[in-house]
Structure 1
Amino acid sequence: MIATGTPPHERIQNDETRCECGQLIAKVKDAGLELKCKRCKRIVIIPFAAIEGWTGQSSR
């Protein structure tokens, strides 16, 4: 077994952000950040342009 210092769930998908427990927090999509409401299960996309101070590219 090789230890890389990166949890296995972070190595699977670079476009996903997960908690240390493995719970999915957000996904990076071409349109922006994709979040899922824990209560109603709706998916909300926050456009990169709507993020104050965002200086990165809008697409990957």
Structure 2
Amino acid sequence: MNSASPVSLPGKDVRCVCGRLTARLEKRGLVVKCHRCGELVVISLADLKAQLSQATQ
């Protein structure tokens, strides 16, 4: 497994080192692509913030 992690800018795609789309940060939230079916799942920034605050407690 490669430990390289691509850097993302808002509105830009985050791709694996192999070139596959992994995620995208947009105004509506974090958009993650399922590698099994290709469906895009949106995690709202409010939900993401709440989950991160719970994880750091």
Normalising by structure 2, what TM-score?
Answer: 0.56
Deviating 4+ runs (over 2 angstroms): none
Partner of 1:3: none
RMSD between superposed Cα atoms in Å: 2.1
Q: Which protein has the larger Cα radius of gyration, Structure 1 or Structure 2?
A: 1
Higher helix content, 1 or 2: 2
Rounded to whole Å, the distance in 2 between the matches of 1:30 and 1:53 is 18
Task: Say how many residue pairs are matched.
Answer: 43
Point out where structure 2 has 5 or more consecutive residues left out of the alignment. 1-5
Point out where structure 1 has 5 or more consecutive residues left out of the alignment. 1-9, 55-60
Residue 37 (structure 2) pairs with residue 47 (structure 1): no
Partner of 2:15: 18
Normalising by structure 1, what TM-score?
Answer: 0.54
